[in-house]
Amino acid sequence: MARPEAELMRIHDMATLEQVVKGCTACGLRAGCRGVVFGDGNPSARLMLIGEGPGADEDRLGRPFVGRAGQLLDRILAACGFDRQRHVYIANIVKCRPPGNRTPTPEERAACLPNLRAQMRLVQPVIVVLLGATALQALIDPAARISRARGQWIVRDGVWYMPTYHPAALLRNPALKRECWHDFKKVIDKYRELVDPAHVAPHHPPGAEGQAPAPSADRRSVPAGAEPWAAGSTGGPAAATEEAAAAREPEDGAPPAGPGDGVQPGDEVHQLNLFDEAGGEGRGRR
């Protein structure tokens, strides 16, 4: 059953809220998944990341962003100097995996939003990164387009929202990585301004230029490997095949690649840059 939002808002600790949300059956998604994927990270963090919904790995393990998109997100956070368990709290618009990793419907989003709003009330973030179009549309504007809104601060009720691409989109189209990194540099700057002036980001020192480049007419012409989390990759042909397959497969509920935004000939070499120098992270897993 679904709890009224007013009742959810009276819950004062995250553990109790999680137990209540795990009993939610407000939409049909709960019947088709293994379990509720509630959230992960530091519930007292001032920085929150919100994605779309669980994928197959998330549904199996019960934590958000643990598949290939999650592994990429962890490297992005590390490049920003953010530790997943210390600096951020991560959640999704919907807590249950949609069948086939499809995009959740407006009705499913609306049914689950009270749960997310209750989480946000407990976390009280000052900065929220919206990962992908679904998060942007559910929390800011149903008509918004991520390609136009990304990289621009949106302030609502004292909270600073930064829309950017979902990590799964970077797996499908590595040319978007540079724009995403510019967005995260703005997040670092805002975190220093509002949360911790002494925050150390290994690849973005204080005062560094953080403006995003103008959108390219041909994003595929942007050289891959310029992002700090891509440095030093030494993957081989087997890694390229595996990572290219991951790019064609939606993660964390991200929609499948449409015409023109999937893996193209030659993209396999760019996929290597998504993995660290050790080359073994996530190997053999989706």
How much is the pLDDT for 284? 29
- What CATH number was assigned to the domain covering residues 29-274? 3.40.470.10
Which residue type sits at 100?
A: G
How much is the pLDDT for 4? 80
Which stretches of the chain are DSSP H helices?
Answer: 5-8, 14-21, 56-61, 68-79, 106-123, 133-139, 146-149, 167-172, 177-194, 237-247, 267-271
User: By CB neighbour count within 10 A (0-12 exposed, 13-18 middle, 19+ buried), where does 189 fall?
Assistant: middle
Dist. CA 85–CA 33, nearest whole Å: 26
| Residue closest to 58 by CA, chosen among 240, 250, 244, 241 | 250
Q: Give the count of beta carbons closer than 10 Å to the beta carbon of residue 190.
A: 17
Dist. CA 110–CA 82, nearest whole Å: 30
What are the domain boundaries of the chain?
29-274
| Residue closest to 225 by CA, chosen among 270, 170, 176, 165 | 270
What does each of the 286 residues of the chain score in pLDDT, given as a tens digit? 567 888 899 999 999 999 999 999 899 898 889 999 999 999 999 999 999 999 999 999 999 999 999 999 999 999 999 999 999 999 999 999 999 889 999 999 999 999 999 999 999 999 999 999 999 999 999 999 999 999 999 999 999 999 999 999 999 999 999 999 999 999 999 999 999 999 999 999 998 764 444 443 333 333 445 566 554 433 333 333 323 333 333 334 344 333 332 333 333 333 334 333 333 333 222 2
pTM for the complete prediction? 0.76
DSSP class per residue in 194-205: HT-TT---TTS-
81 Rama class: left (phi>0) / alpha (psi -120 to 50) / beta: left
Which residue type sits at 209?
A: E
User: By CB neighbour count within 10 A (0-12 exposed, 13-18 middle, 19+ buried), where does 191 fall?
Assistant: buried
Return the residue matching tokens 């601060």.
153
